[in-house]
Amino acid sequence: MGSAVDLGNNNMGEFKHLVIVKFKEDVVVDDILKGLENLVAEIDAVKSFEWGQDLESQELLRQGFTHVFLMTFDKKEDYAVFQSHPKHQEFSAIFSTVIEKLVLLDFPPTLVKTPPKAAPPEAPPEAPPA
Amino acid sequence: MGSAVDLGNNNMGEFKHLVIVKFKEDVVVDDILKGLENLVAEIDAVKSFEWGQDLESQELLRQGFTHVFLMTFDKKEDYAVFQSHPKHQEFSAIFSTVIEKLVLLDFPPTLVKTPPKAAPPEAPPEAPPA
């Protein structure tokens, strides 16, 4: 019944907040991650949050950065709510002391290729690779 | 009937490929985007692809980077397929001529806060904020 509810987040007004960092050497990254988990759990404006650690790409390409943090908001206004939230400001003050360098990008995402949510009905057979 | 198919991509073996760039001044970014769209459309190993342009954050924080490209793969092996694909290599050769700087991070994502896919059934009522 649900009809085609969400085909993906294709230009639906979402807003993303991306941070890539290199932590200082003596930092216990797990503590920071815990803090981030708590932060996003406490602030409803954050729709979703994922992070990752690059352990593999060439140093020349990642340029010392090791961690990616990506938050998704339903709309830009929700990001503004997050930014001005006292708990975020509190966390940011701590965060700024543990990073060696950081790049931050905020942007409305454009989803070009949508992940298939399930097997497509009646997908036309294509010639399999040899 | 579908049961709870995907609760989110929570540590399901996915692999992500993140690139942030600053383009050279005379580059027609739309042409590059078109090329990327074609690329991901042609390579099945790419599960999803989204991009964004930061127009707002502080220059001090984004450090000249303007564009984010994020590809998602079902598994790390799919990323390897993408990387070694002739069309990707062809595109990369062009891409490398149009960028002033770039950071690239490859990582298995950990989804900490999952976006609600729909209204949860029988969510317990919580005290609304005043």
Question: How do residues B69-80 score in pLDDT, each as one tens digit?
Answer: 999 999 999 999
Return the bridge partners of A104, or none: A19
Min Cα distance A69 → chain B (Å) is 9
CA distance B117 to B35: 31
- Smallest CA-to-CA distance from A104 within A73, A65, A75 is with A65
Contact B105 A54 (CB under 8 A): yes
Question: How do residues A12-61 score in pLDDT, each as one tens digit?
Answer: 789 999 999 999 999 999 999 999 999 999 999 999 999 999 988 888 89
Compute the C-alpha angle A101/A104/A109, nearest 5°.
150
Q: What is the mean pLDDT of residues B118-129?
A: 56
Burial class (CB in 10 A: 0-12, 13-18, 19+), A94: exposed
Is residue B47 within 8 Å of residue A111, measured between CB atoms? no
pLDDT over threshold 50, residue B118: yes
Rounded to two decimals, what is the model's pTM? 0.81
Residue A33 CA to chain centroid, in angstroms?
Answer: 13
Tokens of B15: 């692999």
The kind and range of the H/E element at B70 are strand B67-73
pLDDT (0 to 100) of residue B4: 33
Contact B65 A6 (CB under 8 A): no
CA distance B36 to B29: 11
DSSP secondary-structure letter at B66? -
Q: What is the mean pLDDT of residues A93-111?
A: 96
pLDDT (0 to 100) of residue A2: 34
pLDDT over threshold 70, residue B41: yes
CA distance A19 to A106: 9
CA distance B55 to A7: 26
pLDDT confidence band for B7 (50 / 70 / 90): very low
Mark which residues 2-41 of A lie under 8 Å from B by CB: 2, 5-6, 8-9, 16, 18, 20, 36-37, 40-41
CB atoms inside a 10 Å sphere around CB A87: 14
Which member of A36, A105, A113 has the closest CB to residue B62? A105
- Smallest CA-to-CA distance from A51 within A76, A33, A63, A39 is with A33
Coil, helix or strand at residue A17: strand
